[in-house]
Amino acid sequence: MPLGLFALSIGLYTVSAVASLAVSERTGGRIAAIGAVLGALAGMGAAAPVLADGQAVAVTLAGPFPFASFALRLDGLAALMVATIALVSAAAALFGITYAQEEYAGRGVGVMGFFMNLFVAAMMMVAVADNALWFIVFFELMSLASFFLVTFEQDAEAIGAGWLYFVIAHAGSMLVLIAFLLLFAVTGSLDFAAFRGAAVPASTASIVFLLALFGFGAKAGMIPLHVWLPRAHPAAPSHASALLSGVMVKIGAFGIIRVGVEFLGARVLWWGLLVLAFGAVSTLLGVAYALMQHDLKRLLAYHTVENIGIILMGIGIGMVGIASGQSSLAVIGFLAALYHLVNHAVFKSLLFLGAGAVITRIGSKDMGRMGGLLRAMPWTAVAFLIGALAICALPPLNGFVSEWFTYQSLFIAALHGSALVRLAAPLSAVMLGIAGALAAMCFVKAFGVTFAGEARSEPAKAATEVSWPMLAGMGLLAASCILLGIGAPIMAPLVGGVASSLVGGSTTAVADGVLVFPGDPAIGELSTPLIAILLIGLAGVPLLITALFAARRPRRRSSAVWACGYLPDAQMHVSAGGFAEPIRVLFRPLYGVRSRAARGLAAAADRFAAVPGGAARAEELWDRLLLAPIGRGVQAAGEQLQVLQGGDFRVYCLYIVAALIVLLAVVTV
Amino acid sequence: MTNLAFAVILIPFAGAVVAGLSPEPLSKWTAQLFALITFAAALALAFAFDAAGRPSLVLDLVTFGDAVLLGITIDPISVLIILAVVGVGLLVCVYSAAYLSLENREHPDRGRRSYYAWLMAFIGAMAGLVFASTLAGQLLFFELTGVCSWALIGYYQDQSSLRAATKAMVVTHIGSLGLYVAAAALFAATGTFALSAIGQLDDTMKTVVLAAILFAAWGKSAQLPMQMWLPDAMAAPTPISAYLHAAAMVKVGVYVFARGLLAAGAVPQTIGWLGAVMAVATMVYGFLLYFPQQDFKRLLAYSTITQLSYIFLALSISVFGSPLAFEGAIAHVFNHAFAKSLFFFVAGALAYTTGTRLLPELRGILAQAPLIGVGFCAAALAVTGVPPFSGFFSKFAIFAGGFQAAAAHPLLLPLLVIAMAESVGSFAWFLQWVGRSVLGKPSPKVAAAIPLPAAMQGVLLILIIMTLCSGEIAASWLGGRPS
Amino acid sequence: MPTIGQWALGLGQAAALLLLAPLVSGFCRVLRAKIHTRTGPGVLQDYRDILKLLKRQEVLPAGAGIVFRATPFVLMASLLLIATALPVLTLASPIEPVGNLFTFIYLLALVRFFFALSGIDSGNAFAGIGASREATMGALMEPVLVLALFVAALLAGSTDLGRISVSFSSLAGGSIGAQAAVIAAVAFAAFVEMGKVPYDMAEAEQELQDGPLTEYSGPGLALLKWSVGLKQVVMAAILIGVFLPYGAPASASIGGMAFAALAFMVKLVVVLVIVGVIENGAARSRFFLTSRATWAGFGIASLALVFYLVGL
């Protein structure tokens, strides 16, 4: 049944994709959106039973290729990915019903719908593919479909961003291909079923792991392979950016788990520590660079790098747990990573959709031209605020729960781990903490400069709220943020089940009633429903206090902002750059890394510029040094031989006689 | 079945005579008609072959005592390749009929009878080569294709094309010396020219014969050190570049080498190393020469050189015990034929409509002519090996076979890694051209383009579809599944 | 889930700290006046100020939105929530699901978030700079606080504040050096978070006209001043209740809690006197040089980690 629903889901996506090409633009966009929403519902329906009972379903069909069967497997991890993809796709599709028509009318709305649906279908197929060939096929198809979305604007920046994106994605998938083929050489089959638990020699296993880490890490946007992300995600249409940032980079994390944990068993300690290290660095540098942006979508893109870092930290701890035999630690680590995967998908897409709504009204991505939108676009502002609170991991929303679990996993690792782990885990926790504070600062800036204060440009002054489908898409995700946060006692066991299946089915309790805890309540407890109720309830105290004196107060009035006696001016408002300036000064070494790297790349590019000239010179060498001498030599030899044909008839007779004599001599001898 | 094979070889020659003798406006239609009949015959052969359970036949035609001089062989590989050769040949005929016209902005031309005659003769020669079962037969058709190529490259009769034609003739003829040596050595050792006799040779003679065949293959397939004729051969009319110098004639080299390997059974590893190292060297050289190219067709020529080195690499790897690599090589021959001809036809369509072949002047194609833009993208992705296009699946088989073989011969790994790096590099370079030329705002030359004739549009469409399907067709045919 | 008694304890504790907050800021003001050898307003002045402000008209800046108006309520609610979960009167946290180390850090982050956001939302330039500084101070103090509390949790074997308090109540808990370093680091962090000179960055009375507080008036200002005071009490309570819990009973007996309340007041007075002396003996540090001090604090916290790892 789940596979039937899954097939229906893929069918809906692909058929609506093709159909949207065939009809007029408006209808095409609508068909694609409706097909996506229906497909998403089918996808959720397929994923739910697998998540609920933890039983994987698989099917193997004979494909056209004799060396690779078309194998699919919907297990817990795949179901979690499919559900996440479906949720974000539904929200993006709802948003896109009017967004695509407003922004891109006349530029191929139907084509956009085609590529969006194809993109989503490819991602879902990657999650369930159980054969190396088909995995790579859908992995690349995913990059191909999203390439056309990234370059949709067809201006120089979008095309450049798309080129960088696709090249890095393709290089990454080549690395993954090498990893798979090394496993193929060991096991003799391309099926993942053969890869799982194959007896791979240790050195090969490490090489396969490193290849997979960098190959999938490039897709995930792990530092230092993240350079495509801040250019590609802003260039795409906003609902496509939501899918790119929200879901596609998670496929990278998913791939690392598949190869590192499922195929290779994560039995070496330094693998987990390496992933943890890359995660911590990505977290810190991602948020540091995000703080410096004044382009709203680039800011969000850098935050994706940060959050991928957090997911990688969780994966790293999980792998450390498996390698050191602490299955409970491993489950908590993977729980944190997977929960954050789902949470980030939801709140990052929400933020991108909100950004898209704002950019539609303002006509520019520059935060300096926004402002005063809190009153003009109240629902968008509330949705964006919920997303901002979630990404800053503020209680009681979903981001807090997954970061709480990440901290707890780092704590448990530091409590019982080996010496290296006991040093690495607290340091990672510190980096996560700094990143959390910087992220809060960044989103105070992002929300504040974008929505709050006075309008700073004409479009900002004239802005109005967006249409209801766009609000519906954002609302769906905002509601999910709240539910995933308050519903932690329900979500945690669900995700914990998937995490347990990765660690060989060990059972670790993570929830009890309204509490969640990392395996053992004595280590720490959390209750988001309780926090939510208490916050709302305790807010009644100040409300009561003010209400007591309401009768004696005159009515509230409004007045100009105090500017030391001067008339207030829109220029006096804090700007995006000004707000983040202290961090740029105080954390200068962090920003120095990027400029040094850029100088290195520029030097390499200069040296590359000499290659075409050299190649052009080499091209004509062959004619000059090889063919021309041969031609001249043959010509010269011919001219020498020409002497024989003197023209004198009597010399020819002499030749005939000489030939006869030689022939007679040869025959007699 | 053998009658069908004879038909496929002989009908084009008949068509050559008819097209050469008919009055000028009619000759292109007779050529297309004969090409269509040939293709129908090839299809019928394929179906009959499949229905009969795929028996591998070798029929000796001309013998001299014990020595077999000429014969035909019908097996899955020759049937698959003949479909590609004759299929693309038909498309080339249809395309040429529209391309060689006075409306062509780059090369206005009447479309003389000699063109169609030589084209049909070439198709016949290719068919003969594909079915040949003896070294002598291969040599005969090898030289025939060289003559046809010479005539067709020089078609426009200007200085540069005549020089290019002569250069091509000379270099490939030097290559053919290899086949002469191989045939002579084989005859001296076994007394017959039949390919199957290679299997009976001892190791040193096998090495000699196969090395000689490899040398001839390098010459015809424009590999180092005989690669310099192919870029200059782009002076030919674009349909000829597509057919001879992408889909068919350059494949003669790899085909001859593949047949030699098949016939030899257990091949000495020296041949494998020789082939693999030279293939990778050619690949790197070809890749480095992408960078200065501004002419669209010259860029495609170098791309053809590197794709052929992939096939050589795959065939060499199969020596080390990987049948998957061999199948990948044959599948790549099939896939590349369609993908590269699509790319050349796109170049031809652009030349026809805008009058220029220079890439920097061609921008924003998608906005002006969506079909050509889509064809450009499809061809680029198919040639560089991105799924769901065909090139990926054959490249995957090649790499998979390579890694299988590398398990026992670790020194193959660096060669494979270089090949994969080159694949990514090619992809990056072509993607850059896609970004510059296909997307964005149309350049002045593109904005002033005339509409594309319906025949050329139809051919582009058929080939775009083929670039999506040919991978599956080749794999299932070679794997023994009904296609 | 907490019992009725624990709920009562927690909520009562929060109410007590809420009512105590103006007294604490009054005490600090009296102390400052004494050190300046002047008389100054009385200890109960802040109560009078708050009551007066609650009856005043509220004047909102023109561009302010719902965030500006909601911030005082959000701030007070979050700080009250932290207050309910602190192990002040007992060694255990009254409401354990909330009394977790990381929950505490992120509730403080919630406070900082809205405080800074309201500064921007008011549209006032000074408030904007104050907001920027508030957020920056958060980023600078976070590593100190996280590391120090993390080491404390490692010493206790749990991230629950109550259990950490139990572990610190007996000095023989193993690593004396680590415990001392943790207390020093947390004390430093509490000092900075209280917003006392020389780290009075966000409000910076002489420089920024109270920073984010600038545009507030009437009941909003009353609640906000109260919340700022409450935050100071909460930070002091964290230091005293978790890390210096001498005198607090392990179980919740009335006699024990009364004694604990007395001990708490004594310790609070001691802490406030020390804080007052430091505050009035220093000038506000230059903002961009603050990081030197915070990195020194981080150094102390790292020392705690090293001591823990080595087992000193």
**B107 lies in the same domain as B161:** yes
Q: What percent of chain A has pLDDT over 90?
A: 60
**B237 lies in the same domain as B127:** yes
**B2 lies in the same domain as B32:** yes
Chain C, 238 to 257: residues with Cβ < 8 Å from chain A are none
Task: Return the pLDDT at B70.
Answer: 87
Task: Return the pLDDT at B482.
Answer: 42
Chain B residues inside the 8 Å CB shell of A182: 403
Interchain touch A–B (≥3 Cβ pairs closer than 8 Å): yes
A260-264, A402-406, A643-647, C178-182: segment of lowest average pLDDT:
A643-647
Q: Among residues C97, C101, C99, C105, which one has the least CA distance to residue C83?
A: C99
**B241 lies in the same domain as B359:** no
pLDDT tens string A167-220 = 999 999 999 999 999 999 999 889 998 898 788 898 899 999 999 999 999 999
First-to-last CA distance in chain A? 93
Please tell me the total count of domains within chain A.
3
pLDDT tens string B445-474 = 888 888 899 999 999 999 999 999 998 888
Say if residue C65's pLDDT is above 90.
Answer: no
Nearest CA in chain A to C291: A586
Q: Which of A67, A138, A162 sits opposite B324 (nearest CB)?
A: A67
Chain B, 61 to 100: residues with Cβ < 8 Å from chain A are none
**A360 lies in the same domain as A499:** yes
CB contact under 8 A, A167 and B428: yes
**A237 lies in the same domain as A295:** no
Task: Return the pLDDT at B483.
Answer: 36
Say if residue B299's pLDDT is above 70.
Answer: yes
The residue from A500, A519, A539 where one domain ends is: A539
User: B298 falls in which pLDDT band (50, 70, 90)?
Assistant: very high
pLDDT tens string A226-240 = 999 999 999 999 999
Chain C interface mutation, best of A438, A514, A544, A574, highest count of C Cβ atoms under 10 Å: A574
Chain A, 557 to 586: residues with Cβ < 8 Å from chain C are 557-563, 568, 572-574, 578-583, 585-586
Say if residue B16's pLDDT is above 80.
Answer: yes
ipTM: 0.94
**A135 lies in the same domain as A113:** yes
The residue from B264, B288, B315 where one domain ends is: B264
A134-138, A646-650, C167-171: segment of lowest average pLDDT:
C167-171
Q: Print the SS3 string covering C270-287.
A: HHHHHHHHHHHHCCCCCH
A205-219, A332-346, B10-24: segment of lowest average pLDDT:
B10-24
User: B202 falls in which pLDDT band (50, 70, 90)?
Assistant: confident
Give Cβ neighbours of residue A453 (< 8 Å, ≥ 6 apart): A371, A372, A573, A574, C63, C120, C121, C122, C123
CB contact under 8 A, A400 and C106: yes
Task: Return the pLDDT at A235.
Answer: 93
**Interface partners of C (3+ CB pairs, < 8 Å)?**
A
Chain A interface mutation, best of B396, B413, B429, B446, highest count of A Cβ atoms under 10 Å: B396
User: C173 falls in which pLDDT band (50, 70, 90)?
Assistant: low
Domain definitions of chain C by residue range: 4-310
Task: Work out the minimum CA distance from C4 to partner chain A, whole angstroms.
Answer: 14
Tell whether C206 lies on the interface with A, counting CB pairs under 8 A.
no
**B274 lies in the same domain as B250:** no
**B2 lies in the same domain as B151:** yes
Say if residue B104's pLDDT is above 60.
Answer: yes
Tell whether B370 lies on the interface with A, counting CB pairs under 8 A.
no
CB contact under 8 A, B403 and A626: no
Determine contact, residues A568/A560, Cβ cutoff 8 Å: yes
Of A644 and A92, the structure prediction assigns the larger pLDDT to: A92
Q: What percent of chain B has pLDDT over 70?
A: 99
Chain B, 215 to 254: residues with Cβ < 8 Å from chain A are 225, 227-228, 231
**B321 lies in the same domain as B196:** no
Average of per-residue pLDDT across A579-602 = 83
Q: How far is it, in rounded angstroms, from Cα B136 to Cα B233?
A: 27
Of A587 and A339, the structure prediction assigns the larger pLDDT to: A339
> 10 Å Cβ neighbour count for B88?
27
Structure tokens at A267: 């039995």
Determine contact, residues B371/B291, Cβ cutoff 8 Å: no
Task: Work out the minimum CA distance from A418 to partner chain B, whole angstroms.
Answer: 36
**A260 lies in the same domain as A274:** no
Say if residue C311's pLDDT is above 80.
Answer: no
Name the CA dihedral angle for A550, A554, A559, A563, rounded to a multiple of 10 degrees.
Answer: -80
**A282 lies in the same domain as A250:** no
Task: Work out the minimum CA distance from A633 to partner chain B, whole angstroms.
Answer: 14
- The answer to the question of residue A588 being in a domain is no
pLDDT tens string B155-182 = 999 999 999 999 999 999 999 999 999 9
Q: How far is it, in rounded angstroms, from Cα C73 to Cα A172?
A: 50
Give Cβ neighbours of residue B36 (< 8 Å, ≥ 6 apart): B90
Say if residue A584's pLDDT is above 70.
Answer: yes
Average of per-residue pLDDT across C95-119 = 92
The residue from B219, B240, B264 where one domain ends is: B264
pLDDT tens string B114-124 = 999 999 999 99
The residue from B245, B264, B283 where one domain ends is: B264
Q: Among residues A19, A372, A531, B330, which one has the least CA distance to residue C63?
A: A372
Sign of CA dihedral B294, B295, B299, B305: negative
User: C205 falls in which pLDDT band (50, 70, 90)?
Assistant: low
Q: Where in the sequence is the domain holding A642, given as residue range(s)?
A: 609-668
Please tell me the total count of domains within chain B.
2
**B221 lies in the same domain as B339:** no
**A661 lies in the same domain as A625:** yes
Say if residue C312's pLDDT is above 70.
Answer: no
Task: Return the pLDDT at B25.
Answer: 86
- The answer to the question of residue A13 being in a domain is yes
**A100 lies in the same domain as A128:** yes
Task: Return the pLDDT at B58.
Answer: 86
Task: Return the pLDDT at A516.
Answer: 87
Chain A, 515 to 554: residues with Cβ < 8 Å from chain C are 515, 522-527, 530-531, 534-536, 538-539, 541-543, 545-546, 548-549, 552-554
Chain C, 77 to 116: residues with Cβ < 8 Å from chain A are 77-78, 80-81, 84, 95-98, 100-103, 105-107, 109-110, 112-113, 116
**A186 lies in the same domain as A305:** no
pLDDT tens string A92-143 = 999 999 998 888 888 888 999 999 999 999 999 999 999 999 999 999 999 9
**A508 lies in the same domain as A649:** no
CB contact under 8 A, A136 and B387: yes
C43-57, C62-76, C169-183: segment of lowest average pLDDT:
C169-183
The residue from A513, A539, A565 where one domain ends is: A539
Q: Which of C61, C101, C128 sits opposite A574 (nearest CB)?
A: C128
Q: At what angle do helices B269-288 and B296-319 cross, to 10 degrees?
A: 160
**A227 lies in the same domain as A295:** no
Task: Return the pLDDT at B480.
Answer: 59
- The answer to the question of residue A42 being in a domain is yes
**A198 lies in the same domain as A93:** yes
Q: What percent of chain A has pLDDT over 70?
A: 100
**A81 lies in the same domain as A164:** yes
Interchain touch B–C (≥3 Cβ pairs closer than 8 Å): no
Tell whether A436 lies on the interface with C, counting CB pairs under 8 A.
yes
Q: Which of A415, A538, A546 sits opposite C77 (nearest CB)?
A: A538
Average of per-residue pLDDT across A405-419 = 92
The residue from A230, A249, A265 where one domain ends is: A265
pLDDT tens string B36-86 = 999 999 999 999 988 888 888 888 888 888 788 888 999 899 999 999 999
Average of per-residue pLDDT across A150-167 = 93
CB contact under 8 A, B435 and A162: yes
Task: Return the pLDDT at C174.
Answer: 65
**B309 lies in the same domain as B234:** no
What's the whole-number average pLDDT of chain C? 88
What's the whole-number average pLDDT of chain B? 91
**B6 lies in the same domain as B117:** yes
Q: Where in the sequence is the domain holding B404, given as residue range(s)?
A: 268-483
Determine contact, residues B255/B92, Cβ cutoff 8 Å: no
